[in-house]
Amino acid sequence: MPAPLSNPPYVLVPTAFRFAALAALAGRAPLGGRREVVLATYMAARLAQDVLADRGLSQPTRVERAAQGRTWLANIALPPSVRPALAKLVDVSAASAAEASAAVRVVIAVTSPFLDTKAQGELEQLAAALEMEPAAI
């Protein structure tokens, strides 16, 4: 019987990549409209996820990141049907989890023509996680 395999002590634990389906979709999308929407959605989702307490980001840090996100968002070409929802999500990434969850749900609705099922699922999971977050006192 062969001996069980074990990891050597110097092996690093693989890091989890946030929103892998969104990133993969952006990588596959042709330059232009769809790619811009997916990249903007990816950025907004990452900011929104940082509202979760276990991410450990302070409110002042999230405010600064939201301001930088708004600047970036203003400089890319997005359809008029998508831009307001993504801008709102970036803005509420500095606020509460409840506000972020509601904004993620709106983003899911307006970006559904641009996203595949896996990317939409990642956003659904984010909205659910934000809804489960206890309200700040």
Cα Rg of the chain (Å, integer) = 17
pLDDT digit string, tens, across residues 39-66: 999 999 999 999 998 888 888 999 999 9
The residue extents of the domains of the chain are: 20-132
pLDDT digit string, tens, across residues 66-116: 999 999 999 999 999 999 999 999 999 999 899 999 999 999 999 999 999
Answer yes or no: is pLDDT of 17 > 70.
Answer: yes
- Looking from the CA of 120 toward its CB, the CA atoms found within 13 Å total 11
pLDDT computed for residue 136 by the predictor: 60
Read off the pLDDT band of 137 (50, 70, 90): very low
With beta carbons less than 8 A apart as the criterion, state whether 48 and 125 touch. Answer: no
